[in-house]
Every structure is written in structure tokens, then in C-alpha cells.
């Protein structure tokens, strides 16, 4: 959380948009922090309670392979971006493998952003599998608000043992 994953994704998407690429961004329906966009969050004071949206990009909330397939067929994007991939069910992995096979000779670029580990340092959802498939992996790290050192793990601020818990600075 707060490592700049979505911020970096939006930066790449803005450049792709300038280059005239047809972009589709999807995010999991479970991510209710915003309905029709992905958003990076930034703090100006370095305090965990001072986060606000800094960059946004339009996105479509989905929950199934059928929805994603329909969007790709209808929109014919050259860039498919998937944010918060750790929240998707295992169907995403099968979908991406099939997509790679079907679009090998096309100009479709797939960008995926998400957490690879949960708050306990365990693999999170489909992300480790997606990373294994990727041509390129870029890992971002947050800065710990306490010690100001790079943070390799997400810290949960509430006493919950749920792996999937959508939230912002009030939980993480």
C-alpha cells in the first residue's frame, strides 16, 4: 500500500494516451474506493492521515472473465491495464494465459498492478502467478511512516486477520 503502484501505472497510461494508444483500464468490483476510476494517493506532509487523490484515470469495475472478454472484444484496446489485481479471483490468471496465446501476434500490451504480498508477507491472490508470466516486473516499495525507511511489507493498522480488506490509510 502507498508504494506508488497506481501512480506509476497512471504515468505509463498518460504517456500511452499521448501516443494515441487505445486504453482500457479495469479494476475489481470489490474495490469500492472509487467507482469509475483508478486513483493514486499522495501525502504532502509525510503523515499517514494526510492522503488525498493526486492522479486519476478512468476505469471500469469488473468481476468476471466474461465481462473482461466482452470489453476487450468491444473496445479492441492496444493497452489493457489491470489495477489492484490481487483482489481478482483465480479466473484472472487463466484469462491472461489464454489472452497471451490468442494475442501473441497483436499489438496488445497488458499492464498489471497489485500487491504481491499481504500484510503477513504471504503471496497475495493471483499476483505471484501474474508476475511469473510477466515479461517485465517492476516492484515499488513504500516508505514507513514510523521509521522513514523503505517498507517491504504492508502494515495493517486494524486488528483483522482477513487477507482481503479494501481500504486506505484508515486500515493500512
Residues labelled catalytic: 84
Pairing relationship of beta strands 23-28 and 79-82 according to DSSP bridges: parallel
CB 103 within 8 A of CB 74: no
Backbone angles phi, psi at 82, to 5 degrees: -125, 120
Query: Cα angle at 82 between 81 and 86, to 5 degrees?
Result: 160
Phi then psi dihedrals of residue 13, to 5 deg: -65, -40
CB 71 within 8 A of CB 108: no
Q: How many residues does the chain have?
A: 172
Q: Give the burial class of 3: count Cβ atoms within 10 A of its Cβ; 0-12 exposed, 13-18 middle, 19 or more buried.
A: middle
Amino acid at each position: 500500500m502507498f508504494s506508488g503502484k497506481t501512480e506509476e501505472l497512471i504515468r505509463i497510461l498518460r504517456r500511452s494516451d499521448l501516443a494515441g494508444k487505445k486504453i482500457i483500464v479495469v479494476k475489481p468490483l470489490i474495490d469500492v474506493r472509487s467507482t469509475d476510476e483508478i486513483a493514486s494517493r499522495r501525502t504532502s506532509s509525510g503523515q499517514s492521515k494526510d492522503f488525498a487523490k493526486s492522479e486519476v484515470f478512468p476505469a471500469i469495475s469488473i468481476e468476471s472473465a466474461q465481462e473482461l472478454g466482452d470489453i476487450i472484444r468491444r473496445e479492441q484496446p492496444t493497452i489493457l491495464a489491470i489495477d489492484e489485481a490481487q483482489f481478482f479471483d483465480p479466473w484472472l490468471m487463466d484469462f491472461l494465459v489464454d489472452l497471451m496465446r490468442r494475442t501473441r501476434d497483436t499489438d496488445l500490451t497488458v499492464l498489471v498492478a497489485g500487491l504481491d504480498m499481504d500484510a503477513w508477507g504471504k503471496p497475495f491472490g493471483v499476483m505471484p502467478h501474474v508476475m511469473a508470466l510477466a515479461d517485465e516486473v517492476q516492484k515499488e516499495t513504500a516508505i514507513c511512516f514510523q521509521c522513514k525507511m523503505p517498507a517491504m511489507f504492508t502494515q495493517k493498522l486494524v486488528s483483522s486477520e482477513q487477507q482481503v480488506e479494501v481500504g486506505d490509510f484508515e486500515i493500512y
